[in-house]
Structure 1
Amino acid sequence: MKSSPSARSWIAAGVRHELLTRALPALRHDMAAPVSVIRMALLMLKRQVAAPTVDAAACEERVALIDNQVGELVLAIRSLRDWELATTDDGISRSALVGQCVMLMRSAFDLHGVSLEVDAALDPQEDEHRWPAGAALRYLFLGAMGYLHDGADEAGAIRIEADGANAVRLQAVKRDPGTSPSVLDAHRAPRALAIDAVALQSLADDLGYAVTLDGDSVRLVLATGN
């Protein structure tokens, strides 16, 4: 029996949920780090206020630090809206897309012995073209990373390169033969929800983007309908 359009949409929604789950540790860290700094600054401020002589300059410095960290926390909380497909966003540049996704997943990939290598051509440039639907592209790029991470045999690195003016190519690179897989795989928890070709293609179809899977590489076009 063929799956209905509704069922295919649910499959894509499940893939997005899995990708968000994988990104959550980094998102939690971005929100927890300012809280830790705020707690320490408040402790120091209480001590300074309770001292026989109040150092006004030191108190002002602590208050400024707290104010700065509250701002960082607010930005981190607001960034959760970036994951909502229904929210209209300002789009995203190719370099920003790559930078954000690499930052989210680098630690997790490193623990599994998979490094992320970004070509210098993807460094931020002035007046870069911004592609619409940044949330959709973020999910799709993370999906491509997850596909190579989960499925490429003996992957030791994922190389990310610009491909023309409107695409990105991700290529899995085989692990150095001198690296012991038993040590690296000790950090890898069994995953029943691997991002395979069907999952990635379902996500791309639902979001309206073209992906090309060729062995251990993925080509992602940043414009819809291509």
Structure 2
Amino acid sequence: MKATPGARSWMAAGVRHELLTRVFPALRHDLASPVSVIRMAMLMFKRQATVKPVDTAAWQERVALVEGQVGALATGVRSLRDWELAVSDEGVTRSALVAQCTGLMRAAFELNGIRLHVGEGLAPGEGEQRFPAGAALRYMCLGVLSYLQDGAPQLGAVHIEPEGRDIVRFSATRGAAELAELADPHRAPRKLAIDAVALQLLAEDLGYFVALDGDTVRLSLVRRSNQ
């Protein structure tokens, strides 16, 4: 039986949930790190409070440290809104999008012996074009990376390069067979793998175009006009 539009939207939401689950450890780490620093600073406050006379310079240093970490924590909490598709944003540049997504996925990839290589053409620069709907593009970029991680046999590396004005090209290269065998247990269970159907379903729901050509995927950052 052919899936209804409503059912396809639910399935696409399931794909987004799986992608968010994969990057959640990195997001959690970014929130937990400032908390750990603040706790350590508070212990130092208590220790210094017993010292007479009070070292004013040391207190000021600790206060500045806590203020900085509170700011980082607040920024991290606010950034969680960036994952909500309904939230409007100022858009994202191609280089920033790739930097964000590779940063979130790098630990999981390298745990599997997979290298992420970002081309020089994706270095940040002045006057870069911003593409709207940053949250949707983030899901798409993570979807492509997960598709290659789950589906490319003996994956050794993923090379990410710009193409034209609004395309990102992801190319998988194969590694040693023994490395792939080591990596397989860490990949998503087969039922939760991001395969071609899941990736195309995500692209259709969010309104983007992805071209799958063997071990190469091209993602257009421009939304289709009917979205």
TM-score bin (small chain) = over 0.9
Deviates more, 1:85-94 or 1:168-177: 168-177
Match in the other structure for 1:93 = 93
Structure 1 gap segments, 5+ residues each: none
1:45 aligns with 2:45: yes
Find the residue that maps to 2:63 and give its secondary structure. helix
One-letter code of the match for 1:211? V
* Counterpart-to-counterpart distance in 1, 2:180 and 2:84: 37
Query: Which amino acid is the alignment partner of residue 133 of structure 2?
Result: A
Question: Whole-Å Cα distance in 2 between the matches of residues 202 and 188 of structure 1?
Answer: 21
**2:141 paired residue number:** 141
Q: Does 1:201 align with 2:200?
A: yes
Q: Distance in 2 between matches of 1:22 and 1:59?
A: 40
Residue 69 of structure 1, CA deviation: 0.1
Which residue does the alignment assign to 1:152? 152
In structure 1, give the amino acid aligned to 2:67.
Answer: D
SS in structure 2 at match of 1:192 = helix
Letter aligned with residue 211 of structure 2: T
TM-score if structure 1 supplies the norm length?
A: 0.96
Alpha carbons 2:12, 2:198 under 8 Å: kept: yes
**Residue range with higher mean Cα deviation, 99-108 or 51-60:** 51-60
**d(CA) in 2 for partners of 1:168 and 1:188?**
24
Is residue 84 of structure 2 the alignment partner of residue 78 of structure 1?
A: no
Deviations 1:136-161 (A, max 9, x none): 00000000000000000111111100
Distance between the aligned counterparts of 1:206 and 1:193, measured in 2? 18
**Partners of 2:73 and 2:31 in 1: how far apart?**
6
Q: CA deviation at 1:51?
A: 1.1
Return the alpha-carbon distance in structure 1 between the equivalents of residues 54 and 181 of structure 2.
58
Post-superposition, which runs of at least 4 consecutive aligned residues in structure 1 deviate over 6 A? none
Q: CA deviation at 1:174?
A: 0.5
User: 1:117 maps to which residue?
Assistant: 117
Contact 2:154 2:179 in 1 (8 A): no
Give the counterpart letter for 1:146 in structure 2: S
**Cα pair 2:95 2:122 within 8 Å, conserved:** yes
Structure 2 distance, partners of 1:148, 1:222, is 18
Structure 2: runs of 5+ lacking an equivalent:
none
Residue of structure 2 equivalent to 1:2 = 2
